[in-house]
């Protein structure tokens, strides 16, 4: 039986597995590796902090994801195809590795942040009201 997401080690496994799939994905892999050319050693720990803060209420993440994605959106438009790919990979990774209340919660949070992000990126006026 699969276990639930219980601690930071589980978040690390989830995030590492997710971005391994992301890098191979034909819809969004190139955004990370070729367009933004992100430094994975910098990005991954930030994502551990982000999800740990959201799931376990630890204030380890400091940052503004909306601003970051506005910047990305200027270089390459993030639309339904890209968000669907991101969500699909995230949900699949969670379900492949975990089952339980926290697994459901993290998917629900990912879904609502993704939907809000997509809405704001496509709503020109929200550029001035980014939080």
Summarize as ranges the residues that interact with ligand HEM (CB under 6 A).
Answer: 28, 31-32, 36, 38, 43, 46, 50, 63, 65, 68-69, 72, 78, 82-83, 86, 110, 113-114, 117
To the nearest whole angstrom, how small is the minimum distance from the Cβ of residue 3 to ligand HEM? 22
| Rounded-to-integer distance, Cα 82 and Cα 118, Å | 10
Q: What is the DSSP letter of 7?
A: S
| Rounded-to-integer distance, Cα 41 and Cα 51, Å | 16
Place of tokens 């629900």: 108
To the nearest whole angstrom, how small is the minimum distance from the Cβ of residue 1 to ligand HEM? 27
CB-wise, 10 or 78, nearer to ligand HEM?
Answer: 78
To the nearest whole angstrom, how small is the minimum distance from the Cβ of residue 126 to ligand HEM? 16
Q: How far apart are the first and last CA of the chain?
A: 39
CB-wise, 1 or 34, nearer to ligand HEM?
Answer: 34
To the nearest whole angstrom, how small is the minimum distance from the Cβ of residue 102 to ligand HEM? 15
Residue nearest ligand HEM by beta-carbon distance: 63
Q: How buried is residue 97: exposed, middle or buried, by Cβ count under 10 Å (0-12/13-18/19+)?
A: middle
CB-wise, 55 or 72, nearer to ligand HEM?
Answer: 72
CB-wise, 63 or 100, nearer to ligand HEM?
Answer: 63
Instruction: Report how far Cα 125 is from the mean position of its chain's Cα atoms.
Output: 24
Closest by CA to 9, choosing from 95, 87, 96, 98, is: 98
């Amino acid at each position: 039986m699969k276990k639930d997401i219980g601690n930071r080690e589980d978040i690390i496994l989830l995030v590492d597995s997710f971005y391994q799939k992301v890098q191979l994905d034909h819809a969004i892999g190139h955004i990370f590796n070729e367009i933004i050319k992100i430094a994975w050693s910098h990005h991954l720990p930030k994502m551990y902090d982000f999800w740990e803060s959201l799931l376990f209420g630890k204030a380890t993440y400091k940052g503004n994801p909306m601003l970051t994605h506005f910047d990305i959106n200027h270089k390459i438009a993030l639309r339904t195809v890209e968000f669907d790919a991101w969500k699909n990979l995230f949900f699949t990774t969670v379900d492949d590795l975990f089952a339980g209340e926290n697994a459901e919660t993290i998917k629900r949070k990912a879904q609502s942040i993704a939907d809000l992000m997509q809405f704001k990126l496509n709503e020109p006026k929200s550029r001035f009201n980014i939080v």
